[in-house]
Every structure is written in structure tokens, then in C-alpha cells.
């Protein structure tokens, strides 16, 4: 991403740096910080901001150690690039799933982290016309800590509708937790979506 940004916004500098030597004695590249500790969810916003600032400095120093002409793009530029890349990938995935010749099986796994944050992972599995098994992560979303069957159904159906695969559901793989049984009972009316678009 840094390379794409540098080429698109700083082409002249990129071309100059492309022929650079590796024995730079720039003081900026002399010291690259070592490890970076993960953020503790119990920190105050002010403490988290301090860590974010420290992380940005670390990335900047690392990038400049690799290429002293490198300028780290702003978070707005990075966000725009990431969102554009994600949208391209999402459209590619939707097109691939639309061309699946048969049904799609799904693996569903909700869990709660140590910090009491709920998450849901949804994976699609299918067989191509050449009989090759394919799999793809359809969604990884945040859930309320108490994920009921109804909440799971809403999230799963939202992901499936977003990918245009709700009508191709075939088989489910999930654990036997009580909320999964409730989820499956809530899903029963939606399992006959075969002829709907």
C-alpha cells in the first residue's frame, strides 16, 4: 500500500529512490524500534491515543529506514486505499459466488473473547464444476456479547444477502450450543429460498 501511495502521489521521488544504494547513513534510519506491545482494552482513550501515536512513529521510522524518501500517508489516505481495495475484492467474491454451479455449504462459529466481545465467523464451502473444493471467509463481524439465535440469524442473513448467496444455502456446520440450536430453529423458514433471487 505504501508503494502504491508513493508511486501515485510521489512519482518523481519514487523514480529517484528506485536507484538508491543500500548503505545509507541517514540518522533517521539508524534506529528502528523493536517490539510493539498490543493495546490493552482497559486503557483510557488518552492512553490508547498515546499508543496510536507511538505506533505511527514506529511505522514512519521503519518506512524511512527502508527508504529515507518515504512519506507515510495519512490515515485518511490509507483508509481510502483500504476501502477501495476491499470493495474490489468484495465485487470479485460476489462474482465468483454467483458462478458457483451448485449449492454452498456454510460453517458458522460465534464466540466471546476474554474481553467479553462477541464475534462471528462465517465460511462458505462449495465444489466447482471441475470438482475442486473451494472455501472462502464470507464474514467476520462483531456481535453483542450475548449472541442469541435471533441475533445470529440477522447477522448471517445480512452477510448472505450482501454476497447474493442466501438462495444457495445447502448445509450448515456449527457447534451444538443452545444459541446455535435457537439459530437453526430461527433459520428453518429461510432454508427454502431456492427459487428466490
Tell me the CA distances in angstroms from 17 to 29, 32, 59, 125, one per residue in order.
Answer: 15, 20, 19, 45
165 in Cβ contact with 136 (< 8 Å): no
pLDDT at 159: 92
- Tell me how many degrees the CA angle 171-172-174 measures, rounded to the nearest 5: 160
pLDDT at 21: 39
pLDDT at 11: 67
Residue 105 scores a pLDDT above 90: yes
Backbone region of residue 126 per phi and psi (left: phi > 0; alpha: psi in -120 to 50; beta: other values): beta
DSSP one-letter string for the chain: -HHHHHHHH-HHHHHHHHT--S----GGGS------PPPPTTS-HHHHHHHHHHHHHHHHHHHHHH-TT--PPPHHHHHHHHHHHHHHHHHHHHHHHHT-SS-EEEEEEEEE-TTS-EEEEEEEEEE-TT--EEEEEEEEEEE-SS--HHHHHHHHHHHHHHHT-GGGEEEEE----HHHHHHHHHHGGGTT-TT--
Task: Work out whether strand 104-112 and strand 169-173 pair parallel, antiparallel, or are unpaired.
Answer: parallel
Q: Where are the domains of the chain?
A: 2-18+26-73, 97-190
Which residue would you say has higher pLDDT here, 165 or 63? 165
How many CA atoms within 13 Å lie on the side-chain side of 154? 8
What is the value of pTM for the model shown?
Answer: 0.60
pLDDT band for position 197 (50/70/90)? very low
The tens digit of pLDDT for each residue in 8-23 reads 666 666 566 555 433 4
Among 93, 74, 87, smallest CA distance to 1 is for: 74
The tens digit of pLDDT for each residue in 55-100 reads 778 877 777 787 777 777 777 888 898 999 989 998 999 999 998 9
pLDDT at 1: 58
Amino acid at each position: 500500500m505504501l508503494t502504491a501511495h508513493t508511486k501515485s502521489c510521489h512519482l518523481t521521488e519514487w523514480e529517484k529512490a528506485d536507484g538508491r544504494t543500500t548503505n545509507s547513513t541517514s540518522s533517521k534510519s539508524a534506529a528502528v524500534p523493536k517490539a510493539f506491545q498490543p493495546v490493552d482494552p482497559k486503557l483510557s482513550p488518552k492512553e490508547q491515543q498515546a499508543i496510536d501515536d507511538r505506533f505511527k512513529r514506529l511505522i514512519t521510522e521503519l518506512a524511512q529506514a527502508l527508504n529515507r524518501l518515504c512519506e507515510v500517508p495519512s490515515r485518511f489516505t490509507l483508509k481510502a486505499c483500504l476501502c477501495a481495495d476491499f470493495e474490489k475484492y468484495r465485487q470479485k467474491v460476489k462474482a465468483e459466488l454467483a458462478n458457483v454451479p451448485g449449492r454452498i455449504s456454510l460453517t458458522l462459529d460465534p464466540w466471546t473473547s476474554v474481553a467479553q466481545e462477541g464475534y462471528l465467523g462465517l465460511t462458505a464451502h462449495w465444489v466447482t464444476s471441475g470438482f475442486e473444493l473451494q472455501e472462502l471467509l464470507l464474514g467476520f463481524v462483531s456481535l453483542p456479547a450475548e449472541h442469541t439465535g435471533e441475533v445470529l440469524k440477522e447477522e448471517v442473513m445480512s452477510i448472505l444477502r450482501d454476497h447474493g448467496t442466501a438462495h444457495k444455502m445447502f448445509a450448515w456446520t456449527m457447534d451444538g450450543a443452545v444459541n446455535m440450536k435457537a439459530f437453526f430453529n430461527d433459520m428453518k423458514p429461510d432454508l427454502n429460498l431456492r427459487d428466490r433471487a
